């Protein structure tokens, strides 16, 4: 909670990020009843304004009948009053129909920020916005759709109030010639509101374009048009373009467009076709309203093929202007993309990018690298192809059983640096550098690159998730969660994103939400290891063991054998996964120790002793010595995600964090340096040394 001036009120409430309550003397009040804590925060958004009992009970106990919900509310208010009275506080104003808090007896970080803006205290406002960066109003709450919709409305209203106040103050500073202070406040405002804005924009999905090619060959103009539209429209203020991974996942389904709009969270679709003949290329596009399936705009371009490669004018300015006007958006300037004028290089680039995403297809990733390298031989100044090649090297390191994972990370970093030399606006290239810095034991540098990537490409789900995951690895889960949620909004049908969401909720103790996120991950085709861990943490060990054991059907596809490991029989595979499931998820100490012994043996015998098949279970089972040994000696792109699971207070996972050698370990791998520079983790709020 940001520091406050002495306002003479007995209760201080943090509404941004996770809810915190403290006395005027900064003594924390731990309100153990989660729903009571949420109700107090809801009433504190606009203190003095009452909420009806019926509304609050419906929002907090959505699934219960009205009499049950009202009875639960009575008990919850009783608990809240009792916990506040222990600190001598009596701030609730309760009647038979209404609930409120006494505005004279509380203060909130929201009120402090609004006061600073309204009183033209720009330096104070700048400081507060920097402290609150990435923290939305009432984060980490998941009690159902009704409360979620109410919170979305409240967040929108609060941000609109703050935006108007910030704009007035910025205008005053500019008029007074205080340009340095103006720029500082503007940057701080953009830093705080960046994640929040993602939740309030129009949503657009670009469906795969059809291609009719009378000439044949591999000139993938339809894919090129979709990519160009995604890039150009992704830079418009007020518009969120859904990632193509999620669009592709639903486009082949039998869903209607309104059903797809609901699942993807979008308001509009673009669909079209491209017809290539000997004389020309004809491109048709139309904009469709998602809820009604009605066409609201269309355009047609019929030009010689050379037009589409003239300075990368695949999509003309008139088309972008027409789309913007139809959706009520204002066009904004955007740096020109550094692409290629070579048709052959561009076709190879598109094929390579497509194969990079097909991680489960045997041989796809090495072939992707080959195609992208061929493209760069034709045009070595093709910046986006260098970024794509960097991504392909990382995917090979993560998704294939290779032994040179750190070397591949170094190759990826070299490609990313080359891309940035050619085009400093390649935000995703910075995200690749962020991954590599972890392999160099430089988490501070990793977070710095992730922040720069997000500054350049806040609408790229991969970039947003990279920032969220960097914060997760560092134990700053409360700050990470809004970015993970934003990545899901940008790419809502990509199972990988729900892995991060599951872990974030697990770290925060939101076990029901963690299980829901884990189930979403499984529903989207990701092996359920994290779901099993979440179910075990929630106490459902029998289901957890079954869930983890079911991942055996992914072995050989998404789940790769460790590099150099010999093929094993189905019986041996099943025995191993049964032992793993019982050791990680069964809640039995003997089974845990059996599996600890097994992964110790694997660590000694595998060609890659740092493989994720050793690293991740060591963290989940709280095998402290082995977990710290592995990550002290080598962090690579495949085992790196195991770091995000360190940060939970759930036994046995928490045993590594509680180990007396943990701080020395954290210093050895560079975490302490990152904490000293950017802030300490949730579970270690200050330097304990």
Q: What is the pLDDT of residues 262-313, one digit of tens each?
A: 888 788 888 888 888 877 888 888 888 887 888 888 888 787 777 666 545 5
**202-330 architecture in CATH?**
3-Layer(aba) Sandwich (3.40)
For 680, the 3-state DSSP assignment is coil
For the cut 50, the answer to whether the pLDDT of residue 531 exceeds it is yes
Mean pLDDT for the stretch of residues 188-215: 70
Mean pLDDT for the stretch of residues 463-472: 93
Listed range (346-360, 574-588, 652-666) with the worst mean pLDDT: 346-360
Burial class (CB in 10 A: 0-12, 13-18, 19+), 632: middle
What is the predicted pLDDT for the residue at 321?
76
Give the CA dihedral 318, 194, 478, 47, nearest 10 degrees.
Answer: -120
Full 3-state SS string of 490-528 = HCCCCHHHHHHHHHHHHHHCCHHHHHHHHHHHHHCCCCC
Domain limits, the chain: 11-198, 202-330
Name residues whose C-beta falls within 8 Å of residue 605's C-beta, 6 or more positions apart in sequence. none
For the cut 50, the answer to whether the pLDDT of residue 540 exceeds it is yes
What is the predicted pLDDT for the residue at 338?
59
pLDDT tens figures, 46-101:
887 788 888 888 888 887 888 888 888 888 888 888 888 777 778 888 888 888 88
For the cut 60, the answer to whether the pLDDT of residue 335 exceeds it is no
Q: Around 496, how many Cα atoms within 13 Å sit in the side-chain half-sphere?
A: 20
- pLDDT band per the 50, 70, 90 thresholds, residue 217: low
What is the predicted pLDDT for the residue at 74?
86
Distance CA 393, CA 379 (A): 19
Residue-wise burial string across 326-356, b where 16 or more C-beta atoms lie within 10 A, e elsewhere: bbebeeeeeeebbbbeebebbbbbbbbbbbb
Listed range (236-245, 303-312, 395-404) with the worst mean pLDDT: 303-312
- pLDDT band per the 50, 70, 90 thresholds, residue 419: very high
What is the predicted pLDDT for the residue at 82?
82
Most confident segment among 132-136, 572-576, 662-666: 662-666
Name residues whose C-beta falls within 8 Å of residue 78's C-beta, 6 or more positions apart in sequence. none
Distance CA 548, CA 557 (A): 16
Number of Cβ atoms within 10 Å of the Cβ of 405: 25
Would you say 352 and 375 are in contact if contact means Cβ atoms under 8 Å apart?
Answer: yes
| Predicted TM-score of the model (pTM) | 0.69
Task: Give the strand order in the sheet containing 51-52.
Answer: 51-52, 98-101, 92-94
Mean pLDDT of the chain: 84
Burial class (CB in 10 A: 0-12, 13-18, 19+), 199: middle
Which stretches does DSSP call E strand in 277-392? 281-289, 294-303
Name residues whose C-beta falls within 8 Å of residue 474's C-beta, 6 or more positions apart in sequence. 443, 447, 671, 674, 675, 678, 681
For the cut 90, the answer to whether the pLDDT of residue 669 exceeds it is yes
* CATH 3.40.50.1820 applies to domain 11-198: no
Task: Give the strand order in the sheet containing 106-108.
Answer: 20-23, 11-14, 106-108
Q: Which residue has the higher pLDDT, 228 or 433?
A: 433
Would you say 243 and 494 are in contact if contact means Cβ atoms under 8 Å apart?
Answer: yes
Q: Which residue has the higher pLDDT, 439 or 350?
A: 439
Crossing angle for the helix pair 612-620 and 624-633, nearest 10 degrees?
Answer: 140
- pLDDT band per the 50, 70, 90 thresholds, residue 200: very low
Distance CA 121, CA 115 (A): 8
Distance CA 224, CA 216 (A): 16
């Amino acid at each position: 909670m940001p520091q406050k001036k002495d306002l003479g009120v007995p209760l201080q409430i943090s509404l941004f990020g996770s809810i915190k309550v403290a006395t005027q003397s900064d003594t924390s009040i731990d309100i153990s009843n989660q729903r009571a804590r949420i109700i107090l925060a809801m009433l504190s958004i606009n203190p003095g304004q009452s909420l009806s009992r019926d509304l609050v009970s419906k929002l907090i106990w959505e699934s219960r009948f009205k009499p049950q919900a009202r009875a639960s509310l009575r008990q919850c208010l009783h608990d809240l009053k009792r916990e506040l009275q222990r600190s001598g506080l009596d701030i609730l104003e309760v009647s038979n129909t209404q609930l409120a808090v006494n505005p004279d007896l509380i203060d909130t970080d929201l009120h402090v920020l609004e006061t600073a803006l309204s009183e033209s205290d720009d330096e104070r406002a700048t400081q507060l916005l920097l402290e609150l960066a990435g923290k939305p109003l009432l984060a980490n709450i998941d009690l159902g759709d009704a409360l979620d919709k109410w919170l979305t409305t409240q967040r929108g209203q609060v941000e609109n109030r703050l935006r108007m106040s910030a704009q007035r103050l910025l205008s005053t500073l500019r008029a007074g010639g205080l340009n340095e202070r103006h720029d500082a406040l503007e940057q701080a405002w953009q830093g705080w509101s960046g994640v929040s804005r993602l939740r309030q924009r129009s949503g657009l999905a670009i469906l795969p374009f059809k291609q009719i090619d009378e000439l044949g060959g591999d000139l993938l103009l339809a894919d090129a048009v979709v990519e160009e539209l995604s890039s150009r429209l992704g830079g418009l203020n007020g518009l969120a373009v859904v990632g193509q991974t999620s669009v592709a996942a639903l486009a082949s389904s039998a869903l209607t467009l309104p059903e797809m709009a609901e699942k993807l969270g979008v308001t509009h679709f673009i669909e079209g076709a491209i017809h290539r003949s000997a004389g020309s290329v004809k491109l048709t596009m139309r904009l469709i309203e998602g809820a009604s399936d009605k066409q609201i705009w269309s355009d047609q371009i019929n030009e010689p093929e050379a037009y589409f490669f003239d300075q990368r004018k695949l999509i003309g300015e008139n088309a972008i202007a027409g789309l913007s006007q139809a959706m009520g958006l204002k066009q904004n300037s955007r740096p020109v993309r550094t692409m290629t004028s070579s048709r052959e290089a561009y076709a190879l680039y598109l094929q390579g990018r497509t194969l990079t995403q097909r991680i489960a297809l045997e041989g796809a990733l090495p072939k992707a690298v080959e195609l992208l390298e061929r493209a760069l031989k034709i045009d070595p100044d093709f910046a986006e192809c260098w970024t794509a090649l960097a991504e392909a090297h990382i995917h090979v390191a993560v998704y294939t059983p290779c032994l040179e994972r750190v070397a591949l990370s170094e190759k990826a970093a070299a490609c990313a640096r080359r891309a940035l030399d050619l085009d400093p606006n390649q935000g995703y290239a910075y995200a690749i550098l962020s991954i590599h810095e972890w392999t160099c034991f430089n988490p501070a540098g990793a977070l710095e690159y992730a922040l720069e990537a997000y500054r350049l490409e806040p609408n790229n789900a991969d970039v947003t998730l990279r920032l969220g995951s960097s914060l997760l690895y560092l134990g700053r889960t409360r700050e990470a969660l809004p970015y993970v949620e934003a990545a899901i909004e940008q790419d809502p049908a990509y199972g990988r994103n729900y892995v991060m969401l599951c872990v974030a909720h697990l770290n925060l103790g939101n076990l029901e939400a963690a299980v829901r996120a884990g189930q979403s991950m499984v529903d989207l085709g990701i092996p359920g290891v994290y779901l099993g861990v979440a179910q075990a943490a929630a106490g459902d060990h029998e289901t957890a063991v079954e869930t983890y054991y079911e991942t055996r059907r992914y072995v050989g596809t998404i789940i790769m054998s460790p590099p150099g490991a010999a093929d094993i029989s189905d019986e041996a595979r099943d025995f191993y996964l049964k032992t793993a499931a019982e050791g990680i998820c069964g809640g039995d100490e003997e089974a845990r120790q059996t599996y600890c012994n097994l992964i110790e043996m694997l660590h000694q015998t595998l060609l890659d002793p740092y493989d994720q098949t050793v690293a991740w279970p060591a963290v989940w089972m709280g095998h402290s010595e082995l977990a710290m040994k592995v990550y002290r000696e080598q962090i690579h792109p495949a085992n790196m995600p195991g770091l995000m699971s360190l940060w939970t207070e759930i036994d046995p996972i928490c045993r590594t964090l509680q180990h007396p050698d943990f701080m020395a370990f954290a210093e050895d791998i560079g975490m302490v340096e990152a904490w000293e520079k950017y802030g300490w983790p949730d579970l270690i709020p200050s330097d304990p040394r």
